[in-house]
Amino acid sequence: MRLELGIATVFGLRGLAVLALAGGTLAAGCSAGGGAPAGGPGTGGTSGVQPGAGAGNTPMITPLPGGGDVGTKVIHRLSNVEYGRTVHDLLGTNLNPATDFTLEEVALGFNTVADAMTMSPKQVSDYYDAAMVLADELFNDATRSAAFITCQPAAAGDTACAATLIKGFGLKAYRRPLEQWEVDDLVSRYTAALTAGEDHKGALKHVVGIMLSSPQFLYRMEIDADPLTQTPRALNGYELASRLSYLLWSSMPDTALLDAAAKNELSTPEGIAAQLQRMLAEPHSSALVSNFSSQWFGANHLTTHEVDTTLFPAWNDNLRVAMQNEMGAYFDEFLHGARPYSDFLSADVKFVDSGLAGLYGVNAPGSGQMRVEGATPQRPGFLGLAGFLTFTSRKNRTAPAVRAKWVLDSLMCSQLNPPDNLVIPPLTDPPPGQSLRETVLAHSTNPACAGCHKLMDPIGLGFENFDAIGKYRATYADGSAVDASGTMPDGTPFKNFTELAAIVKANPGLGRCAAQKLFVYGMGRTVTPSEAYLDQIVADWGKTSGTLADLLKQLVLSDVFRFRKGAAQ
């Protein structure tokens, strides 16, 4: 649900002090929406608290003051990224059929939103074809095939061995123990394949092909005893294991996690926290960098970004990759490292290879990537990273409004919605004799454009000391001096990028926005109707050391992560 809200709500109360005038301006011609807290929290959360339900350590939902709604979660098709990582972990394959699938559905900025996932006939067909290819490849590989086929039928008509293998593989493929009807059906398919002329191995291959194209594999499902129930229930261990593994790894639970689920260890906060710590330490958690942060902060855009190499001869694919790597490594400082997210816009940390070192004007490493701290005071924090400054530029020049829009979207969760009937004219380069600053500021002379641009332009122009590949410049190509000074809508002046970054950093809405991004990515849905839980997560995060790992912990320990209710109908 898109929310048309005043900017004041978006930035939070102290944010008002920073961007106070923006609210009034926006009311005239620009609305900001998306992800901000709704006026009233969800209702009914506390009325339906589920009692302990017998088992000694079944989690109890804790009523939120003022009520909270844990919401439901629809069946969740694997994204293409998740599919590729899952078949790799499940089968040990190096094939990734997902590269040929229908392009990833992206909604609310991420490829994990369940509501946006489709299942077209073409996709069913692709999944089926991929399953057959993967099963073929598994059983044609002598080593992996032998590892799978750990028993042989004792006699003709003996299906006990097949049932054992099906249950063992099924636990991993379906991410939970198979139910009896599932075992019975798959054993009957095994037998049908034998009848059709396959041998034991061929019949197992047939069954594995079916399982890899089944809805149980392709969707993450949380099945309620009563699908209509509005009473929150604790997720069972396997459901929680999948939520954890797809959040942290973009892949299936590993054996240790499935074991923890089997032993009911995920029913306590301590058990979940222990798994979180273990899983974050695994290399698999790089998915949070490659999938989550690259979408959140746009590093994925660099892959297709174009730069005019006649104007920027330093640009090449090595630099492109170095910038992406740096954005990932920088994010990782706040995830696996000890830095609090509140330093995200101020930490003077760079990760350079020789090309990027040249761009920053710092000493180059002999080879590979090197961490450099305190060497680039004129470009602190994430907003000073060349990758960010590049993908928000055009191929031949900077685009101040785009940079500003990304600051507002990604860091403050404030989407600017132009008036519905506004025509945004084709963007052209500044005419000869006019500076970029003049061109940009001309936006605000048109009342229809002014609403948004009065907010965006000062922020965007504050980046002007960095060219279209993020290199520092004191002058433009024509020799004129760069003016990166400006005044925020509330009248706060800044002289340069460093001061601008400090103003943005001081915005108290940044933390809540980070929590919101993680919520949407990890829960695969909008924050509504669970704003109260988001507020609680943010508040609890405030009591920790403030790293992104701390934020992850608050999310996975929250009742909104550990409980669910049925759909309303």
Q: Which span (110-118, 355-363, 403-411, 553-561) binds another protein, by CB under 8 A? A: 110-118
- Residue count at the site for another protein (CB under 8 A)? 72
Residue 271, phi then psi, degrees to nearest 5 = -65, -40
Closer to another protein by Cβ: residue 157 or 377: 157
Print the SS3 string covering 131-184: HHHHHHHHHHCHHHHHHHCCCCCCCCCCCHHHHHHHHHHHHHHCCCCCCHHHHH
Decide the pairing of beta strands 31-33 and 76-77. unpaired
Closer to another protein by Cβ: residue 179 or 373: 179
Instruction: State the nearest-atom distance from the C-beta of 171 to another protein, in Å.
Output: 16
* Per-residue contact flags (x/-) with another protein for residues 427 to 456, judged by CB under 8 A: xx----------------------------
Count Cβ atoms within 10 A of the Cβ of residue 190 and give its class: 0-12 exposed, 13-18 middle, 19 or more buried: buried
Q: Measuring CA to CA, which residue among 289, 504, 535, 329 is closest to residue 410? A: 504
Q: In terms of C-beta distances under 8 Å and separation of at least 24 residues, what long-range contacts does 250-255 make, across chains too?
A: 250/79, 250/81, 250/82, 250/85, 250/287, 250/291, 251/82, 251/85, 251/86, 251/88, 251/89, 251/284, 251/287, 252/86, 252/89, 252/90, 252/172, 252/175, 253/175, 254/89, 254/282, 254/284
* Per-residue contact flags (x/-) with another protein for residues 144 to 173, judged by CB under 8 A: ------------------------------
| Beta carbons within 8 Å of 296's beta carbon, 6+ residues apart | 109, 110, 410, 517, 521
Which amino acid does the sequence have at 509? G
Site for another protein in 64-83 (CB under 8 A): 72, 74-75, 77
Site for another protein in 179-218 (CB under 8 A): 181-182, 185-186, 189, 192-193, 195-198, 206, 209-210, 213-216, 218
Q: Are 320 and 302 in contact (CB under 8 A)?
A: yes
Binder to another protein among 38, 60, 95, 221 (CB under 8 A)? 221
Instruction: State the nearest-atom distance from the C-beta of 200 to another protein, in Å.
Output: 15
Instruction: State the nearest-atom distance from the C-beta of 422 to another protein, in Å.
Output: 7
| Beta carbons within 8 Å of 569's beta carbon, 6+ residues apart | 228
- Strand, coil or helix: 122: helix
Instruction: State the nearest-atom distance from the C-beta of 208 to another protein, in Å.
Output: 11
Interior CA angle at 442 toward 437 and 443, to 5°? 110
> Per CB under 8 A, does 425 bind another protein?
yes
Closer to another protein by Cβ: residue 9 or 72: 72
Closer to another protein by Cβ: residue 245 or 417: 417
Site for another protein in 548-567 (CB under 8 A): 566-567
Which amino acid does the sequence have at 159? T
Closer to another protein by Cβ: residue 39 or 426: 426
Closer to another protein by Cβ: residue 88 or 395: 395
DSSP 8-state secondary structure symbol assigned to residue 197: T
Binder to another protein among 304, 366, 377, 543 (CB under 8 A)? 304
Instruction: State the nearest-atom distance from the C-beta of 391 to another protein, in Å.
Output: 11
Distance CA 86, CA 257 (A): 15
Closer to another protein by Cβ: residue 111 or 547: 111
Instruction: State the nearest-atom distance from the C-beta of 155 to another protein, in Å.
Output: 23
Binder to another protein among 122, 263, 371, 495 (CB under 8 A)? 122
> Per CB under 8 A, does 474 bind another protein?
no
> Per CB under 8 A, does 477 bind another protein?
no
Q: Cβ atoms within 10 A of the Cβ of 43, count?
A: 12
Interior CA angle at 394 toward 388 and 396, to 5°? 120
> Per CB under 8 A, does 113 bind another protein?
yes
* Per-residue contact flags (x/-) with another protein for residues 224 to 243, judged by CB under 8 A: x--xx---------------
Distance CA 383, CA 406 (A): 10
Distance CA 15, CA 172 (A): 47
Instruction: State the nearest-atom distance from the C-beta of 195 to another protein, in Å.
Output: 8
Binder to another protein among 38, 60, 116, 399 (CB under 8 A)? 116
Instruction: State the nearest-atom distance from the C-beta of 163 to another protein, in Å.
Output: 15
Tokens of 25: 């301006």
Site for another protein in 523-552 (CB under 8 A): 526
Binder to another protein among 39, 54, 56, 121 (CB under 8 A)? 121
Distance CA 350, CA 357 (A): 9
Binder to another protein among 51, 426, 431, 479 (CB under 8 A)? 426
Instruction: State the nearest-atom distance from the C-beta of 424 to another protein, in Å.
Output: 7
Which amino acid does the sequence have at 37? P
Site for another protein in 79-108 (CB under 8 A): 100, 102-108
Closer to another protein by Cβ: residue 367 or 569: 569
| Beta carbons within 8 Å of 190's beta carbon, 6+ residues apart | 159, 162, 166, 203, 204, 206, 207
Binder to another protein among 95, 136, 145, 219 (CB under 8 A)? 219
Closer to another protein by Cβ: residue 113 or 510: 113
Closer to another protein by Cβ: residue 316 or 480: 316
Instruction: State the nearest-atom distance from the C-beta of 31 to another protein, in Å.
Output: 14
Instruction: State the nearest-atom distance from the C-beta of 192 to another protein, in Å.
Output: 5
Which H or E run includes 114?
Answer: none
Site for another protein in 385-404 (CB under 8 A): 394-395
Q: Which span (86-94, 113-121, 163-171, 312-320) binds another protein, by CB under 8 A? A: 113-121
Closer to another protein by Cβ: residue 219 or 278: 219
- Strand, coil or helix: 516: helix
Instruction: State the nearest-atom distance from the C-beta of 146 to another protein, in Å.
Output: 23
Residue 374 backbone class (left: φ over 0; alpha: ψ -120 to 50; beta: rest): left
Instruction: State the nearest-atom distance from the C-beta of 22 to another protein, in Å.
Output: 22
Instruction: Establish whether the linkage from the previous residue to 529 is cis, with ω within 30° of 0.
Output: yes
DSSP conformation letters of 463-488: TTTB-TTS-B-SB-TTSPBP---EE-
